[in-house]
Amino acid sequence: MPIYTYEILNDDGSVAGTFEALQRMSDPPLECHPDTGRPVRRVFTTPNIGGEWSASASKERLSDDNLARHGFTKYQRSGKGQFERTVGSKGPGQIDVRN
């Protein structure tokens, strides 16, 4: 689903701010702000097309399954200064960096 940019309009027609809304392409454009009810208009912007280095591609590359498949070890924070191994089998099971 695309993210659309909208301008929030003042009573005199000037722009008070902008916000983004995730909508289906088949959804009609918003006529008012979803929280405040103020009038809005859709702004046409350049499309943002995900590619090789997009957030979704990076998410897949950094998934636990992909990291394990390529032999990496991943640690996640389990407490203040403490980390536990969540992916991989090499290295210590826990790391404590507290002084």
Supply the pLDDT for residue 99: 66
Domain boundary assignment for the chain: 3-43, 61-93
Mean pLDDT in the chain?
91
Q: Which residue has the tokens 């399954």?
A: 65
In angstroms, what is the C-alpha Rg of the chain? 22
Tell me, letter by letter, the H, E, C secondary structure of the chain: CCEEEEEEECCCCCEEEEEEEECCCCCCCCCECCCCCCEEEEECCCCCCCCCCCHHHHHHHCCHHHHHHCCCCEEEEEECCEEEEEECCCCCCEEECCC
Secondary structure of residue 57 in the 3-state scheme: helix
Give the span between the Cα atoms of 20 and 18, in whole angstroms: 7
The reported pLDDT for the residue numbered 33 is: 96
How does pLDDT run across 3-28, given as a tens digit for each residue?
A: 899 999 999 999 999 999 999 989 99
Mean pLDDT in order along the chain per 10 residues (99 residues) = 91 94 92 95 82 81 93 95 94 90
The whole-number pLDDT of residue 30 equals: 97
